[in-house]
Structure 1
Amino acid sequence: MLIVVMFASLWATAVVLLLIYPRDVYTRWVSAMFLTGGCSGCAVSIHAVMIPFMHRNGFDTVTSDGLLGLISFNLMSIQLHFLSYACLMSSIVFNKSLAGRPLWLAGVLLLLPPLGLLVFEQWAPGFVIELQILRIYAGVYIGSSFILYILGCTREMNRRAKYNQFRTTALYIPVLLWIYVSYYLNVDRIQLDNGGLTIVGSGWWRYNYAIIFLLLAAMVFFGLRYGILGIKLIFERHLYDHSMKTLTQGTSILNHSLKNEIQKIVYLSERIQSQLGDDHYDKAVWSIDQLFPITSHMLRMVEQMKEKADIITLRENNVRIAELLDVSLMSLQPMTDIKHIRVHKQYECDPVVQCDPLHISEAFSNLCMNALEAMEDGKGVLCIRLYMSKKMPVIEISDNGTGIPPEQVDRIFTPFFTSKKGPNHYGLGLSYCYGVLQKSGGSIKVVQTAPGQGTTFAMTLPKRKVIACPSLETISS
C-alpha cells in the first residue's frame, strides 16, 4: 500500500503544480519529473496490489493479467527512458544564464537518445529492458542536470532568489542521486513474463517510498515557508523570476513608464516658460527640441504596451551601450538641471551588445529617476560607470541620496512594493528592470546601500551577447 501512496502523491503533486502555475515552463518540467518518477511505483503497484486484488475478487483471467502486465511494463519503460530527460530539461530552465536560448531545440535534440533506445528495444525479443546502455545515457543527463543546478545557484545575483535556489538544489541532488543509484546502477534487467514483472537487481528500489515521502514532506515545509524547486506552493507567486507575468493588465506598468516621461515634460515646460520670460529665446528653442525625443519614446512605449502587460518581448539589435546611455542621460537633463544634480560619467569601455535598446534604455532611466528623486536639490551627484567584469558589460548607477533601509533591500524588486509616498508611485519600476535584465540574460543587483549614504545599482549584460568591445581610454565627465 505504501507504493500506491507514493506514486499517487507524486502524480497528485504534479497535477496541483500544473493547475496553480499552468504557464510556467519550469513548473511543467518539474511536473514531468514527478509524473515520470511515479511511473515505476504505479507499475509495481499493479503487480503487488491490483492483480492480487482482482484474483481475490474473481477477475482471474488471462486477458486482464496480460493487459495489466503490459501496462506496468510500459510504465516502467517510461520512467527509465524519460526521467533523466525531464531532469535535464528542468535544470536547463532553472539555470537563468541560459535564458533566451532556443529551449525547444534543446528539448528536441535531447529527446533523441531516449527515443532511439526505446525504438531499438522494441526489436528485441520478449519484454525485456537491459539497463547497461540506459545507465550510461541517464548518468550523463542526470550528472549534467546536477552541474546546471549548481551553476544556477552560483550565478544568481539576488540574495532571496539565491537562497531559494540553494534549497532547491540541496533537495534535488540527493533525491536524484538516490534514484539513479537505486534504479540505474543497482538494477540490471527488467522483464515481463508469466510470473509478472521481474526486476533483477539488488532491490534498493524497494526503499524509494521512504525517499519520496521525505521529498514531499520537505517540499510542503519549505514550500510553504520559503519556496522550493523555484516555486512557492501557495498563491503568492515567486515574484522575482516571474514578476512581469503576474501583471494581467498593462495600464499600471505603462502608467509608471509614462509618468517618468511626463515628469520630464513638466520640467521642460517650466524651463521654457522661464526662458521666454527672460527673453532667452535661443535657450527656449533648445529646450523645445528636447521634447521631441521624449514624445517619441512615449509613442514607442505605447506601441509595446501589450508586450509589457504580459511578458517582455525583446527586439534585439547591435547597440553601442555608451551611446545608449548618453541618449538616456540627455533625456534626463531637464530634471538634473531643475534639481541642480551633477552627473559624473566614467566610461571604461565601449561595448557593442545585442540587446533591446528600448527596454535597456527604459530600465536604465528607471534607475536614474529613482536616484534623482532620492537626492537633495543642489547637493546630489549621479555617477554612471560603464566597465567590463569577467567579459560582461556592467552599468553602475550611484547616487548620494537617502539610501535603502536594510529590511527593504530584499523586497525592492517585488511588484507594487514601494517605500515612496503618494498616489503616483506604483512600485513597478524596479520589478520591470529586473524582468528586462533577466529576459535579456543579464542581471541587476544592489551593490551597496545604506540610509543616508546613497545607493549603487549594477546592471550586468551577458557576455555571450557582446559583439565587440574596442579598447577605450577612460572617459570621465
Structure 2
Amino acid sequence: MMVFILFTIWALGLLVLFTDPRRTSIRWASATAFVGSGGFLAAVIDEIILPDWAGALAVHPEWSTALRVLSRCVSALTQDGLPYAFLMFAVHSCESFSRKTKAIIQYAALIPPLIMLAITPIYPVLAFNYRIMIVWVIPYFLAACALLVLQYRSEKDPLVKKNSFFTNILIIVPLFFVFLFIYVMRIQNDYEAWRYNILVVVIQFVLIVAISLKYGFLGVRLRVEKRRLDSTLRALTSGAQIINHTIKNEVGKISLYADRIDAYAADTRQPGLREDAAVLAASSRHILEMMNRIQEQLRDIVLQEKTVQPIRVIAEVAQTLQPYAEAQQVSVLAELDESLLLRCDPVHLREMLTNLCMNAFEAMKTGGTLRLQLFLSKKHLVIAVADSGVGISPENLPHVLDPFFSTKKTAQNFGLGLSYCYNVMQKHHGRLEIESEPGRGTTVYLLFPQKRVEGRT
C-alpha cells in the first residue's frame, strides 16, 4: 500500500507539471507533491526495502547505511520543505504580486526552513524540535491558504475561477490534515499519526479524478462533453448539406408545378385554383428560406482573421441593437478595456455578440439590465454578455449548446444561435461558458486564448 501511495503522489506531480511546465505556480504545485511524497519514500525504505533486503544488505553494510541516510534526508526534506513549497505555490499563483515581490518573498521565506535544517540532527536519528517548527509552519500554511482564497475571490475569468475553486478544495483540505498529522500531533508525542495521511491521499486522488473529469484541476480537464458537441455539430453539418440539397431539388419541382398550375388556372379563369397554387408557392419559398437559415448556421466556418479592437465591434453591436433596448426598457452597461487588440474574425465576432444580445433581450421582456464586459485575465481575453432576465433552469442548462435545443416557443427560433457561437469559438481555439440562475439572469462568456491578444493600443 505504501508503494502504491508513493507512486500515486509522483504520478499526480508529473500530471500537474505536464499541464503547463512554463508556469511557475504549476512547477511549485508539482514540487509540493514531490516534496510531500518524501515521508512515504522514507517509510518504503524503512519498512519494506531494509527488512526485505536484510540478507543482501548484511553482506554490504555500506548499502544499508546509505539507505538509512537517504531515508532520514527525504523525511527531513518533507517535514521542512512541504510548508515552504506550499507557500511558494500560493505566492506564485497570486496575480496581484509583482515579479519582484514574489522573488523577495521566495528568498525571505527560505530562512526559517534553512535555520531549522541547521539546528536539527538528521542521522542517525532525525530529531526536529516540533515546538519550534510549529511557530513558522502554521503561519506558512495559513498565509498560503489566505492567498489562494483571495486569488479565487478576485478572479473574474469564470473558467479560471471555477478551476481555482476546485483546486483550493483539493489542496487546502488535504494539506490541513497532512499538517495536523505531521506537525501538531507530534507536539502531543504521537509519531504514528502520519499514517492517516495514507487515507487522505487516497481520498484526494479519487476526488481529483472525479472532479477533473467534469470541472478541471490545475488545468487538467477531460472534455468529454466538448467532444460530444463537436461530433454532433460535424454530423449535423454533413447531414444538413445532404438534406438541404435533396429538399431544394424537390421544392424546386413543387415550385415549378405551382407556377404551371397558376398559369393553367389563369388561362381557364379558376380563381380558387390560383389561390391553391399561391399557397403551394408560398410554402415552397418558406421551406427554402428555412433550410437556407439552418444551412447558414451549421455550415463549416472558415475564419477570415484580422487584428481588431474588440471594443469597436462591441460598440457597433450595441449601437445597432439600441432600438431593442429602448423598446424593452433595458439599460445597457459597459465595462470595457479600450486598449486590447485581438486577432479574430470580426464578422463572426459581431454575429456572435448580436445573437447573445438578442437572447438577452428575449429574456428581459419586462425590462432589465444588459451588461457588456471586456477584460484580460491570465489565460484569456474575456467578452461577457450578462442579462438580468428569467435565467435558465438547471435541467435545461446542460443542453443549451445542443443544436436545435431552445426554450423559446417561437416559430422563428431554431435553437441554433448558441450552437453557432460555440462553433465559432472552437474555430478560434477558444471556449464558450454559460452561467445562469433562474430569476437572476444569464451570463455568457466568450473566452479567447491569450495567444490571440496582440498587445494594446
Q: Provide the TM-score with structure 1 as the length reference.
A: 0.52
Distance 1:384 1:235 in 2: 29
Contact 1:397 1:456 in 2 (8 A): yes
In structure 1, what is the equivalent of residue 185 of structure 2? 186
From 220, 223, 241, the counterpart of 1:232: 220
What aligned pairs does 1:8-407 form with structure 2 within 5 A after superposition? 8-57=7-56, 59-95=58-94, 103-121=102-120, 128-157=127-156, 162-187=161-186, 201-228=190-217, 230-232=218-220, 234=222, 258=306, 328=312, 357-359=339-341, 370-372=352-354, 406-407=397-398
Counterpart of 1:7 in structure 2 is 6
Q: C-alpha distance in 2, partners of 1:400/1:369?
A: 22
RMSD of aligned residue pairs (Cα, Å): 5.6
Q: How many Å separate the matches in 1 of 2:51 and 2:102?
A: 44
**Which structure has the bigger radius of gyration?**
2
Q: Which residue of 1 aligns with 2:249?
A: none
More moved, 421-430 vs 62-71: 421-430
Q: 1:139 Cα deviation (Å)?
A: 0.7
Query: In the aligned structure 2, how far is the partner of 1:220 from the partner of 1:30?
Result: 17
State how far apart, in whole Å, the 2-side matches of 1:347 and 1:422 are: 21
**Which letter maps to 2:45?**
I
Classify 1:175/1:425 alpha carbon distance in 2 versus 1 (closer, same or farther; 3 Å). Answer: closer
Counterpart of 1:227, as a letter, is: G
User: Matched residues in 2 for 1:432 and 1:11: separation?
Assistant: 31
Matched positions, count? 339
CA shift at 1:99, angstroms? 8.5
Relative to structure 1, the CA distance from residue 332 to residue 40 in structure 2 (aligned partners, 3 Å threshold; closer, same or farther) is: closer
Change in Cα spacing, 1:375 to 1:46, as seen in structure 2 (3 Å) is closer
C-alpha displacement of 1:37: 1.0
Q: Which has the higher contact order (CA 8 A, sep 6+)?
A: 1
The whole-number CA distance in structure 2 between the counterparts of 1:16 and 1:73 is 27
Give the whole-Å Cα distance in 2 for the aligned partners of 1:454 and 1:128.
58
Deviations 1:86-141 (A, max 9, x none): 21222334556659886444433333332343245479998643222222211111
Query: Which amino acid in the other structure matches residue 180 of structure 1?
Result: F
CA 448–184 in structure 1, closer or farther in 2 if over 3 Å, else same: closer
CA distance in 2, matches of 1:361, 1:343: 29
Note closer, same or farther for the CA distance 1:48–1:446 as it changes in structure 2 (3 Å cut).
closer
Amino acid corresponding to residue 220 of structure 2 in structure 1: K
2:70 alignment partner AA: I
CA distance, structure 2, for counterparts of residue 160 and residue 116 of structure 1 = 41
Question: Shift of the alpha carbon at 1:429?
Answer: 7.0
Letter in 2 for 1:203: E
Q: Distance in 2 between matches of 1:216 and 1:143?
A: 23
Do the aligned partners of 2:42 and 2:75 also contact (CA within 8 Å) in 1? yes
Aligned equivalents of 2:95 and 2:113: distance in 1? 26
Kept in 2, the 8 Å contact 1:399–1:454? The answer is yes
Separation in 1 of the partners of 2:122 and 2:44? 27
Instruction: Report if aligned partners of 2:344, 2:428 keep a CA contact under 8 Å in 1.
Output: no
Change over 3 Å in CA distance of 1:455–1:41 after alignment to 2? closer
Residue in 2 that maps onto 1:242: none
* Cα distance per residue 1:307-328 (max 9 Å; x no partner): xxxxxxxxxxxxxxxxx97xx4
Q: Give distance in 2, aligned partners of 1:68 and 1:50.
A: 9
Equivalents in 2 of 1:432, 1:458: separation in Å?
6
Letter in 2 for 1:75: V
Is contact 2:332–2:372 with CA below 8 Å preserved after alignment? yes
For 1:357, the aligned partner's letter is S
State the AA in 1 paired with 2:339: P
CA deviation digits over 1:154-210, x for unaligned, max 9? 444466655544433333333212211211122259xxxxxxxxxx64421133222
| Residues 87 and 145 in structure 1, CA contact (< 8 A), matched pair in contact too | yes
**Letter aligned with residue 74 of structure 1:** C
Give the 3 Å change call, closer, same or farther, for CA 338–215 of structure 1 in structure 2. Answer: closer
SS class of match (1:59): helix
Relative distance call for 1:457 and 1:41 in structure 2 (3 A) is closer
Contact 2:21 2:27 in 1 (8 A): yes
Match of 2:17, as an amino acid? Answer: L
Q: Distance in 1 between matches of 2:33 and 2:158?
A: 28
Does the aligned pair in 1 maintain the 2:355–2:417 contact within 8 Å? no
Give unmatched runs, 5+ long, in structure 1: 190-199, 239-253, 259-296, 302-323, 387-394, 412-416, 435-444, 460-477
Q: Flag the structure with higher helix content.
A: 2
